[in-house]
Structure 1
Amino acid sequence: MLLYIGCTLLLACVSILDTSLGEVVFRCPSCAAERQAGCPERRTPCAELVREPGCGCCPVCARQEGETCGVYTARCSTGLRCYPKPGSEVPLQELVQGHGRCGRIHDGESKGSKENGADSAEFLDHSEVSLTEAIPEGRKTNGQRNEAKDLAVIRLRQTEQERQMSKGPKQPHTPEVSKRTRPKPSLCQKQLDQVLEKISMMHIHDEKGPLEFLYTMHMPNCDKQGLYNLKQCKMSVNGQRGECWCVSPSTGKPIPNSPVMRGDPECNLYYNENEDPKNSK
């Protein structure tokens, strides 16, 4: 979940705010030369190089048609977009968890998505709706007005993320059934609620707006069962990857002796399911 992340999510009604879902939410700073110079040397050839996901500055191989993709994976190659499975009940969740597939852009979709504010839960275009995408060079902003719109988009998208994550099996819609079947929020969901509450209380108080404070917030990366994903990461800032660490799925507490690093800490090597408090009862 930018957990993540995240996790950042998308509603068709955003058009009411005089903005489209193509609005950039988090404004990444430009990549300094020293950041780019520190990128690792590529040892394998790529059909196409693209900027790494989030606010990173290093080039990575673009995902090709048919390969898995999502909000936090490398971008799809030119002419492709990241789509969830057809008919999926939780398309946004699939994109956040990296279970989408790169496919060719549907006829008229590119134009329609911008002019009509198409529901971007149906696809993921990193250049338009990535939660941590950079503003293209030369694009001008409108100060506080755009910041207010950005914050509104964040609120709506995070509300949708929460709704999708907590979506359970379909049940008859009666007050009795609702009370009986409503699942108790998990620790991860409760933590996510607290972050969303802080975001909802933000106000524009200077020219920079409230978005800079979002970089200091950790949005928990929850799975579809409401548990913490093993790997949790901070947001990329100033072209530098955020730190990642390993946690217990049930408690969210760091796994002892596991590393904290700017990259993949390979949490599966440090997690022992039998030692998890939830499974040791």
Structure 2
Amino acid sequence: MSLLSNLTTIVLVLIVHCGSWTGANRLGPFKVCPSCRDPSGAGRPPRDHNAAGSTSVLAQGEPCGVYTLSCAKGLRCVPPPREHSPLQALLQGRGVCAKHSRTNPTERPHPTGRICFASGDAPCRKLLNSVLRGLELTIFLSDRDIYIPNCDTRGYYRKKQCRSSKGMQRGHCWCVDEVGTSIPSRAREDGTLPCDGE
């Protein structure tokens, strides 16, 4: 009776072991990369650049990011639509190679009824140019923080402005309108500062 029980145990262990081994073979010999996920959440094998037909650029629809291969000519790596943090998405490799268009999907439309400046004359761009001229050829050995304005592509202020961080200490942030006027805001419990339309 003891022999039959031992044989049953061995057979069950072999079935479980072989079943998991054949399942692993179907997936292929690769490690899953948490930052390399497709929309369904499944991992992808890394590209074999030595394989026949392999290229050194990514095709349309392929996942991309800051630390991946470049997209093919005429394509650019764009974050997912309505992504709350487009830069974070590209840093984590969650972008997609798509056809290059002249319009910037993350750019805010021109406000109606407001004064429009040429890009070099826009308020944020003016301050940015002034700060950068002052910092040219400077070596930073001081512990004072630096304010470099956060401008959009048109030269206006982005809604959230921050002073530079010091080591692991985040710099002070505040909310502004397009021309840089401070807007009252309150930090969340987790310390993040929500500036509407960010």
Q: Same fold (TM over 0.5)?
A: no
Output the TM-score relative to the length of structure 1.
Answer: 0.31
Structure number with the higher helix fraction is 1
